[in-house]
Structure 1
Amino acid sequence: MPNVEQKEIADNLMERQKLSWKNLNSNEIKAAWYISYGEWGPRRPVHGEGDVSFITKGVFLGLGMSLGLFGLIRLLANPEIPKTMNREWQLKSDEYLKSKNANPWGGYSQVQSK
């Protein structure tokens, strides 16, 4: 249907709806419902048939590429493991924190001075 005819039908239905709904027949009620809530104009579906799979593939492809780029940059920027990441450093830092009564959830548990 051309847009002009659609507009005429919608305007005619809007005028008829201002009167009592008992005067409308079942086809006019169905048409009024479709105009108000149907899948056309502002209420048409945002995505088409194959759009969801296309978007999902694109998201996963983008995530994979970004993780690959992150790993590559991290590998090329500093191929050596930082000295704070070895096992000896971790054990010594744990011993130091135990000697200071460190609490990872509430901060240092120090004796309150008077």
Structure 2
Amino acid sequence: MSSLRYGDVVEIKLNRGTENQKSPHRYGVIISADAINDNLKTVIVCPLIDAKEVKESRVGVTFIPNHIIGVERDSLAFSLQIKTISKDRIVKRINSVPRNYMGQIKKSLYAVLDLA
């Protein structure tokens, strides 16, 4: 998959599975820089989790309403669980996260990684 950009919302295969076994899918936001996205076979994603599954306040999350990014449910970008994944695991691009929400995700990443 080419032309993946910083801030893209993508659908991701969680595990490889077999031909007869359907692999579960999740959503994530690409947080790696475009220079990396253009030149490597991997991207770094911040997973999106269902906002209703979180019962208490958490550090390292950014709330994103479903109508903003085009997924079924309101989501939390979960900065504590960033992952580097192969582009082969990306099923499709869904949408892009608006700049103001990406700014919140970036602040969350800075806090979690102590980069401030």
TM-score by length of 1: 0.19
Q: Which has the higher contact order (CA 8 A, sep 6+)?
A: 2
In terms of fraction of residues, the more helix-rich structure is: 1
Between Structure 1 and Structure 2, whose CA radius of gyration is higher?
A: 1
TM-score by length of 2: 0.19
